[in-house]
A and B are shown apart, each in its own frame.
Chain A
Amino acid sequence: AQSVTQLDSQVPVFEEAPVELRCNYSSSVSVYLFWYVQYPNQGLQLLLKYLSGSTLVKGINGFEAEFNKSQTSFHLRKPSVHISDTAEYFCAVSETGGFKTIFGAGTRLFVKA
């Protein structure tokens, strides 16, 4: 069975500082990996996804993530955050050939001025 662990429930950071949101997954088969963002009172929005190929994936709003198969990780990074990045971020995994997406518990990013 697959599972996703987001190692930090909350991450406070100052504006213009870099940030890394950590995600580890468990699966016995090949997977696809996703990061979603949820702004207040909105639905989840896809930030980026890893399907195959280059392990460094670039997404919207300046975010990127790196797939590390040996460490079963897919950490999300941004070199300089803005106040508007304050939101909840979800890491998710799907088995290749499967139909179900498994989500982590979310990480709340607070960007302070």
Chain B
Amino acid sequence: EAGVTQFPSHSVIEKGQTVTLRCDPISGHDNLYWYRRVMGKEIKFLLHFVKESKQDESGMPNNRFLAERTGGTYSTLKVQPAELEDSGVYFCASSQVAGAVTDTQYFGPGTRLTVL
């Protein structure tokens, strides 16, 4: 069974540019989460999809961030325009049972975003 995949693995962009990160969850997983880790700090929750619906987006930093999960399969996270403080590692995770925080989350390897 394929795990959670993320693309790209690394992205280096200049301030003001746009970047789109992609996450492909494990097939059949209803829950999809986005997290971000700024260098050396805690992993912070960004948002949670149940199928195609946003269950909780309270962790999204501001309106420069837009997440979508059309059709309830893969998800994209767009940052537009990117700022220096957006640099970090963006993780995606998926779990099977809709809405169950106790269900094991499977993480992708992350996308390392560097904004210059």
Contact = CB atoms under 8 A, between A and B. Distances in A.
Whether chain B is bound by chain A comes out as yes
B45 A101 contact: yes
Given A105-B40, A105-B41, A100 B56 contact: yes
A43 B109 contact: yes
Contact of B101 (A42, A43, A101): A101
B108 A49 contact: no
Nearest to A51: B102
A99 B44 contact: no
User: Does more than half of chain B's interface fall in helix, strand or loop, or is it mixed?
Assistant: loop
Given A32-B102, A100-B101, A43 B3 contact: yes
A106 B101 contact: no
Interface string A83-103: 000000010001100111111
A102 B45 contact: yes
The 7 lowest CB-CB distance pairs between A and B, nearest first, are: A43-B107, A103-B43, A44-B107, A105-B42, A94-B101, A43-B109, A43-B108
